Structure 1
């Protein structure tokens, strides 16, 4: 593997090099430190990344074979058979898993996996049509394509054909595979497909707003890899095509209107996060990419407005988005019901991609605060601790009496629509790429993950090492080893939750303010520091083995929602550090929906190494409402209550789970036991 190919930069997936490499006119002002340069050795994240490598990726490939997804490519190559899976986008499960395997091989070479991936690429290549078209749902039997595909190429792309969506994930996988291995076998397939898109779409050619975004992100990656501006131009063209779809009052799905497709308003005029949440995240991430690469201020202004709307009115307390099950979509402002919350895992991953880009645009810690909220709560809740079971949706509330039919109580090994498991495979190896970033003489520390990183600051090599027990403890230590004494600014994110900010908006707030402040020492001596956009700035001439210690207070905090969130009025959620906590049936006498948390309830944190792969639990005494007298009465009695991190729920079987707790009883609703 060529050493030059290992100097990779990650942005949702790979991009190559810097602006000067491609002669780009502009780029993100802040550049992330490549995940291949960040060597993680962390008790929280290392086992998860390793589990993804040893369990999730192999299981994903096995299921791709057993479910017929690979067979679809074989049949397409032969031009005979019948599409044997359910969805036109099933091709992407192979692409996303190859992408995850490539990320993994970039830091953990595996000749056997490398050979297997090459064999899959051979199958994909055989299925590609001579002009570059690659879409098994049509190629298998062009006279009888999948019903979503339409009778001809592209005619239903604005809805559910997913032809361009498939291309986008192919492009992302190809970029990752080439940069990890140096091989062009998948890249050549992708470039052939991309050149077909250049022939078909654009000004004076076919016009379409892709029904499911991601091709825009993929084209940007090919642009970064090749320097061909036509790929970037096409990404922008697809974005600018939006805003032309009218409301169809005769649609069998009345919600499936322009908003659902992010196609009711031109992107530059949009001020709301709308529609299918995964599609939205991929679109907004691509808009940020194109804004950075072209300097288009209208794009930047638009994504700023949309971000403010999402974070201020449309995100759950644990970072989940996409409240409405019908259409997996955003609801109206403050429409955040708990009993029916959808919160797709793919949407959480997309939210990480978008917030990272927003940080790279603006250098503000608030975007990393949201990223951390999503990452430690609503994203990793989507994969079980065995690495082989998943949630498609991430519920906010599971009770015996309020169970929405679209929500899962138990994790599944696979889904008919398997987008979330394969998205997890490609995301997990990339996490080290979100830890550090740099700009000129600024070195940003964004996430607190043990390990070391090799960073070039002002043309000089610096190794930075983290030692911590995050997210269980707020004590952080950073050792800097510049090759020679170097003056630069070390910018350490001070999370919003340390600064009495539950979220960078008024959607959620802590009950009462904490006076605890972070303490920072350099070489054992307390130092003064300035704050800039949420970062503690330490400016000095750093020498070898300088040590920075930061103590983040980790009080147990009560979170309340904006009064306009009807579902959370009179309720509290519990947060410690970056983690949102929940009550699960297993720890609370088989029930979680009967717990009250009045103001006087206090919790004590205790680390339990043998529970759920090691977690800090919160223990206290709180009122519980119980049925007595053979169902003829109620009583309230103070009993032990135990809370676990939200991400860890549903790893011990199905049962009740609760995040928001009433502070007091305001009414009673009676349920009769259903007959068996």
Structure 2
């Protein structure tokens, strides 16, 4: 196939013409160089610790061996799940993104050696699924006796393909080598021959193949890939489930398969599957102009944000099925909040922003990113949470959940998902539409982009999320007129989340001051952005000061577990109390209604954090009076890095006179 010149970009950049696409384009992560105290060390730890550890664990747990046995067509599948192949794919994806920014000859050679093993495991017609290929007469019990017959349930054949497509696209775009891409294209061509109108019909049991096919379409321009992605999405809701059953597995809701997607209004079923489906719908809607898809995902997003998301951005409340519960079903003691679901939520909210250009999607993305997502990886880069608890009492959580981090899991989707996500984080900071430049995230570094055919550099300087003083130096190659759209975070405008699910006790919105070259300016607000339109000259400086008061968060009264309770937030960071800092016992803490909290910088604690300190009450036992104690609250993302013990996000609030 003729080589196509491609610019490395998360969603765009192919050289051929497309009639439709996202109206807003993200600035590629390769065009944004970070110089940031918060994220740069995490990305470096991901590069030097997480990715190597993930590859090592893929080797010592038998995941690589599965491919070697599949290549030999001999042996017995030696790990637990038929989707274990994807841990290799996801780690290759993360390594590829990392190499795009930090070239690494040794890592490059190692990845190529793995790709060679993967290629040898592929069957002549393009099929690639070690759980069957190793021993076709005795496949994994989830796989079914023949190809695809269990795909709508648990075989994960298309899920494996989707992650392979994502990884192969990343590898090709990062290295310009076709070795992995050609493997993926052979598999994608097999899917095109197998599925579609007049062929085999199936609604994939675990979505992501849709997103992966779109990635391959963007690289090749082969419309069959885009058409197949849409076909898989449109297949949902047509299987003969028992629609009278309340069991989500039996009525199809667990798989998002109970209704056609255009008739779905609620975030439902397995939360990771849901995020990948809604992301795939957004991709296909952008590329085809399908307005029914847009209407559906708009409704689903509103349902999730107004009724089904935790205060720290976690989703998927129910352990049984790792799924969304009913409206307002957000219990604390059994909160599931899978890390993969948080990562998927970032993918989806980024796409919703690219479709609509509204800051509310980035508000949710930021909440997830700084709280319920990075809580999933320990500060050491090699210990993880599969689930992200809201409350741990006396060192224990629900039996299905973890109270301590683990280096790996039998189902280790979350560690490898984190490895692939973090290296491309800088691709979420900026975006463009015509002569409009969106500044979405406040992460220090330098961006290089083109506006109206002219090169522009933007330098961010800040100490976010600990400090709200933000500076942006805008330097066009030559004087140029364009619009800077700088996000005014919802939390800085007295909005805890873009719904009434959570709110701040103090609803007064402070004015956000913006200066241009040292002089205050007036600005209009549009879709949550401060609009600054002018002719920009080299060195123009925008200064914005976001108010960083400690805010008490309260929940909608429909959230039974949170009635009479408060949570603490400062900037984008949600806080929790952990056993190590509160000797009186976390579960005894009550917050007086008039309590105030002071931010304190602790450079030596948890790799450097701002904690909150304030006088609270420790309730007595057996009739004893409550006593005054000092509460120390740490950022939620940083909990469980010092061992096991109690933790909580929500605190009972008591009358000040108590």
The bucket for the TM-score relative to the shorter chain is over 0.9
Q: Which residue pairs with 1:528 in the alignment?
A: 522
Q: Which residue pairs with 2:643 in the alignment?
A: 653
1:455 aligns with 2:449: yes
| Cα shift at 1:249 | 8.7
5+ residue gaps, structure 2:
none
1:381 aligns with 2:375: yes
Q: Which residue pairs with 1:643 in the alignment?
A: 633
In the alignment, the residues of structure 2 paired with residue 197 and residue 254 of structure 1 have an alpha-carbon distance, to the nearest angstrom, of 28
Per the alignment, do residues 104 and 256 of structure 1 end up closer, same or farther by CA in structure 2, a change over 3 Å counting? farther
Q: Which residue pairs with 1:68 in the alignment?
A: 62
Per the alignment, do residues 87 and 655 of structure 1 end up closer, same or farther by CA in structure 2, a change over 3 Å counting? same
| Cα shift at 1:599 | 1.3
Alignment check: 8 A CA contact 2:12 2:25 kept: no
Q: Which residue pairs with 2:105 in the alignment?
A: 111
Alignment check: 8 A CA contact 2:362 2:440 kept: yes
Secondary structure of the corresponding residue to residue 620 of structure 2: strand
* 1:348-395 residue CA offsets vs partner (Å, 9 max, x unmatched): 000000000000000000000000000000000000000000000000
* 1:411-432 residue CA offsets vs partner (Å, 9 max, x unmatched): 0000000000000000000110
Secondary structure of the corresponding residue to residue 83 of structure 1: coil
1:323 aligns with 2:323: no
Instruction: After TM superposition, list the pairs within 5 Å mapping 1:152-191 onto structure 2.
Output: 152-191=146-185
Secondary structure of the corresponding residue to residue 83 of structure 2: helix
Q: Which residue pairs with 2:29 in the alignment?
A: 35
Residue-pair matches, total: 653
| Cα shift at 1:402 | 6.6
In the alignment, the residues of structure 1 paired with residue 264 and residue 149 of structure 2 have an alpha-carbon distance, to the nearest angstrom, of 26
Q: Structure 2 length normalisation: TM-score?
A: 0.97
Instruction: After TM superposition, list the pairs within 5 Å mapping 1:423-442 onto structure 2.
Output: 423-442=417-436
In the alignment, the residues of structure 1 paired with residue 323 and residue 509 of structure 2 have an alpha-carbon distance, to the nearest angstrom, of 39
In the alignment, the residues of structure 1 paired with residue 614 and residue 68 of structure 2 have an alpha-carbon distance, to the nearest angstrom, of 58
In the alignment, the residues of structure 1 paired with residue 617 and residue 36 of structure 2 have an alpha-carbon distance, to the nearest angstrom, of 38
Q: Which residue pairs with 1:312 in the alignment?
A: 306
| Cα shift at 1:635 | 2.7
| Cα shift at 1:403 | 2.4
Instruction: After TM superposition, list the pairs within 5 Å mapping 1:411-430 onto structure 2.
Output: 411-430=405-424
| Cα shift at 1:593 | 1.2
In the alignment, the residues of structure 2 paired with residue 125 and residue 249 of structure 1 have an alpha-carbon distance, to the nearest angstrom, of 42
Q: Aligned to 2:340, which of 335, 346, 369?
A: 346
Q: Which residue pairs with 2:274 in the alignment?
A: 280
| Cα shift at 1:554 | 0.7
Q: Aligned to 2:549, which of 547, 551, 555?
A: 555
* 1:272-321 residue CA offsets vs partner (Å, 9 max, x unmatched): 00000000000000000000000011111110000000001000000000
Alignment check: 8 A CA contact 1:270 1:306 kept: yes
Secondary structure of the corresponding residue to residue 392 of structure 1: coil
Alignment check: 8 A CA contact 1:573 1:661 kept: yes
Instruction: After TM superposition, list the pairs within 5 Å mapping 1:202-601 onto structure 2.
Output: 202-248=196-242, 255=249, 257-400=251-394, 403-589=397-583, 591-601=585-595
Per the alignment, do residues 252 and 355 of structure 1 end up closer, same or farther by CA in structure 2, a change over 3 Å counting? closer
Q: Structure 1 length normalisation: TM-score?
A: 0.95
Secondary structure of the corresponding residue to residue 89 of structure 1: coil
Instruction: After TM superposition, list the pairs within 5 Å mapping 1:652-671 onto structure 2.
Output: 652-664=642-654
Per the alignment, do residues 109 and 590 of structure 1 end up closer, same or farther by CA in structure 2, a change over 3 Å counting? farther
Secondary structure of the corresponding residue to residue 591 of structure 2: coil
Per the alignment, do residues 65 and 534 of structure 1 end up closer, same or farther by CA in structure 2, a change over 3 Å counting? same
| Cα shift at 1:512 | 2.1
Q: Which residue pairs with 2:13 in the alignment?
A: 17
Which has the larger displacement, 249-258 or 373-382? 249-258
In the alignment, the residues of structure 1 paired with residue 437 and residue 592 of structure 2 have an alpha-carbon distance, to the nearest angstrom, of 43
Alignment check: 8 A CA contact 1:273 1:310 kept: yes
In the alignment, the residues of structure 2 paired with residue 129 and residue 252 of structure 1 have an alpha-carbon distance, to the nearest angstrom, of 41
Alignment check: 8 A CA contact 2:24 2:432 kept: yes
Q: Which residue pairs with 2:7 in the alignment?
A: 7
| Cα shift at 1:591 | 2.1
| Cα shift at 1:7 | 3.2
Alignment check: 8 A CA contact 1:491 1:536 kept: yes
| Cα shift at 1:514 | 2.9
* 1:506-535 residue CA offsets vs partner (Å, 9 max, x unmatched): 111111223421110000000000100000
In the alignment, the residues of structure 2 paired with residue 255 and residue 199 of structure 1 have an alpha-carbon distance, to the nearest angstrom, of 29
In the alignment, the residues of structure 1 paired with residue 520 and residue 249 of structure 2 have an alpha-carbon distance, to the nearest angstrom, of 57
In the alignment, the residues of structure 2 paired with residue 140 and residue 357 of structure 1 have an alpha-carbon distance, to the nearest angstrom, of 38
Alignment check: 8 A CA contact 2:244 2:251 kept: no
Q: Aligned to 1:124, which of 118, 125, 135?
A: 118
Per the alignment, do residues 259 and 550 of structure 1 end up closer, same or farther by CA in structure 2, a change over 3 Å counting? same
| Cα shift at 1:597 | 1.1
1:634 aligns with 2:624: yes
| Cα shift at 1:254 | 5.9
| Cα shift at 1:458 | 1.1
| Cα shift at 1:253 | 6.7
Secondary structure of the corresponding residue to residue 631 of structure 2: strand
Q: Aligned to 1:197, which of 191, 196, 199?
A: 191
Secondary structure of the corresponding residue to residue 170 of structure 1: helix
Secondary structure of the corresponding residue to residue 286 of structure 1: helix
Per the alignment, do residues 301 and 515 of structure 1 end up closer, same or farther by CA in structure 2, a change over 3 Å counting? closer
In the alignment, the residues of structure 2 paired with residue 203 and residue 583 of structure 1 have an alpha-carbon distance, to the nearest angstrom, of 55
Alignment check: 8 A CA contact 2:217 2:223 kept: yes
In the alignment, the residues of structure 2 paired with residue 457 and residue 266 of structure 1 have an alpha-carbon distance, to the nearest angstrom, of 41
5+ residue gaps, structure 1:
666-676
Alignment check: 8 A CA contact 1:7 1:37 kept: no
Per the alignment, do residues 455 and 536 of structure 1 end up closer, same or farther by CA in structure 2, a change over 3 Å counting? same
Q: CA RMSD of the aligned region, Å?
A: 1.6
In the alignment, the residues of structure 2 paired with residue 270 and residue 22 of structure 1 have an alpha-carbon distance, to the nearest angstrom, of 34
